[in-house]
Structure 1
């Protein structure tokens, strides 16, 4: 993966124009919720906008990316929308400006020896549950599930296992009893016979069952101060990303995978193509935020996050549609 990131950075630096504008973009993981970002990189769309993108991957989860953004060590983050709400509760202005995934895509999978039965929520007690990282949306998923069913956070053990093949390995090796993760991990689990999907949030119906509504996840976000200081940079990043979203919608899973560097493809290619096909439904078609949908993460966070519950949250300040509305609508070939 490190070689892949170096290759991405080198490609951006080599292919970009002499006066390309540098921008640092960090990504929490290369799960499929974030797929529009590497697709935009693979299609050369950021370079076409005159950007020299340096990519950093925090494979342990989105919370590390958020920390980097707030600390100023990255300019833009590919992370989850609910982090913007958390930051507002801490009086930090982090704003999402492109929606990549309009739905969670999370699944809860049980290993071969798991005794958890979703029809009997109390059977989750004592389970070791793998999540991408503490403070991540997979963490929120578990906590909200426990809260909804009258269970306490200490009824289970939460263990950070990352995403992708590392997460699948943790379930396969019995390091965790249950795993909350995204595609491609979800598809790999079924394809390898490692476990069974017990709760599936990849569809709109699944999201409504879990959260009570559509739960927007992967977005591009930045601090308000960076957006104010670099509006043209944000617009260029938005232009490229919106083109990537349109391109994904218009192309097959096979064609999408063809545009990705080989190092990005986890496991065998055929299974990865199947994972992309299953994940396509979660991607935004246009990058715009829906005022009703963003209420769902706030409802979830308020159930167990004391700072969010105590704060007066203004959701209109956690996202903006301005840059997407100003982006050209041409589809990349």
Structure 2
């Protein structure tokens, strides 16, 4: 009898996995702006929606994820909202459907020998500046800063160094003078005595000083074609991710780290928990896009991206709240 029960259990488990809906999700990097995605994984929320998620992590930055999405080698991307604006300027329809991070979370940090003084913007000339990758939002951050102070990218050297511990190591080893990056790198820099934060856009106040407004960053996005062809899949992904956002809003940084897949955690655990605590304020609580906030990335891109500046961008086509509006919004425990 026991053998029969085990066989039945195995059959049910196999049937469940056989009927799980496959979806490929790629993530630009394991910086903390993207944290709600691995939290949803760790809580098993995608499985609860009947999804079998295959994950690919492009540690070099979000621009690689965007390329994978446009090429059709992934279904959904965890990347930055401003990429949807870029794609529209190239006549490609990429649409954000869940907002994860409502603010930038970026910092500009200097190494021990850095000579840049934010009070004197011209002192950034000649600096080797680490960014996650060319075409990423950290790249945009630097270019917008330079443009606002009548400088150009030719005045500095922009070097892709990835994110997390690899980015911190590049600063520590003197391969770069300055680093533009997210948490956990931002917290690691000061905790390890590698350098200090010179410009901080993690808070709303800091974001307004840098960008002139709140700057939404990490989102889930897909091509309009995929959304039109797979609305039920998009709804399931949305349901799971919104539950993760609600759960994060009601739990401590330590509890959040407890649920993360091990590969997501970098550095020592206590410092990582501190980084999550520092980053908590940037996360959305409901996944909705704000009609006013999305204007900030457009203004930033227009300042230095000729294609975006020349295009008649319709922001309403770069995001949708339709799926978030249908997601259950009960508080997750």
The two structures share one fold, judged by TM-score above 0.5: yes
Structure 2 runs not aligned, ≥5 long: 1-12
Q: CA deviation at 1:329?
A: 1.2
* C-alpha RMSD over aligned residues: 1.2
Q: Give yes or no for contact 2:41–2:261 (8 Å, CA) kept in 1.
A: no
Match in the other structure for 1:223: 223
Question: Which residue of 2 is the match for residue 330 of structure 1?
Answer: 330
Could you say which residue in structure 2 is the equivalent of 1:35? 35
**Structure 1 residues 290 and 14, CA gap change in structure 2 (3 angstroms):** farther
Q: Do 1:16 and 1:51's aligned partners in 2 also have CA atoms closer than 8 Å? A: no
User: Which residue does the alignment assign to 1:163?
Assistant: 163
- Distance in 1 (alpha carbons) for counterparts of 2:137 and 2:210: 13
Task: Tell me how far 1:134 sits from its aligned partner.
Answer: 0.1
Matches of 1:151 and 1:222 in 2, distance apart? 35
Deviation at 1:98, TM superposition (A): 0.1
After TM superposition, give the deviation of residue 331 of structure 1 in Å: 3.2
TM-score, structure 1 as length reference: 0.95
CA 1:136–1:124 in structure 2 vs 1: closer, same or farther (change >3 Å)? same
Residue in 1 aligned with 2:120?
120
State the Cα distance separating 1:297 from its structure 2 match: 0.2
Q: Which residue of structure 2 aligns with residue 9 of structure 1?
A: none
C-alpha spacing 1:88/1:16, structure 2 compared with 1 (3 Å): farther
Q: Post-superposition shift, 1:14?
A: 8.7
Match of 2:209 in 1: 209
1:107 equivalenced with 2:90 (yes/no) = no
Other structure's SS at 1:214 match: coil
**Does residue 197 of the first structure (1) align with residue 197 of the second (2)?**
yes
| Residue matched to 2:6 | none
Query: 1 CA distance for matches of 2:108 and 2:309?
Result: 26
Gap change, CA 1:283 and 1:15, over 3 Å in 2: farther
**Deviations 1:101-139 (CA, angstroms, capped at 9, x unpaired):** 000000000000000000000000000000000000000
CA apart distance, 1:16: 6.2
Structure-2 residue corresponding to 1:148: 148
> 2: distance between equivalents of 1:126 and 1:15?
61
Normalized against structure 2, the TM-score is what?
0.95
Match of 1:294 in 2: 294
The answer as to whether partners of 2:133 and 2:139 remain within 8 angstroms in 1 is yes
2:104 is equivalent to residue 72 of structure 1: no
Offset of 1:51 from its aligned partner? Answer: 0.1
Over residues 37-78 of structure 1, what are the superposed CA-to-partner deviations in whole Å (9 max), with x where a residue is unaligned? 000000000000000000000000000000000000000000
- Which of the pair has more CA radius of gyration? 2
Q: Within 2, Cα distance between the matches of 1:274 and 1:218?
A: 20
- Alpha carbons of 1:183 and 1:325: their partners in 2 closer, same or farther (altered >3 Å)? same
SS of 1:66's equivalent in the other structure is helix
Give yes or no for contact 1:125–1:156 (8 Å, CA) kept in 2: yes
Give the count of matched residue pairs. 321
CA distance in 2, matches of 1:161, 1:264: 18
Aligned to 1:256: 256
SS of residue matched to 2:105: coil
Distance in structure 2 (CA, Å) of the matches to 1:118 and 1:299: 22
- Cα offset, 1:15, TM superposition: 11
Displacement, 1:332? Answer: 3.2
Are 1:146 and 1:152, in contact at CA under 8 Å, matched by a contact in 2? Answer: yes
List per-residue Cα deviations over 1:2-39 (Å, max 9, x = no partner): xxxxxxxxxxx999633000000000000000000000
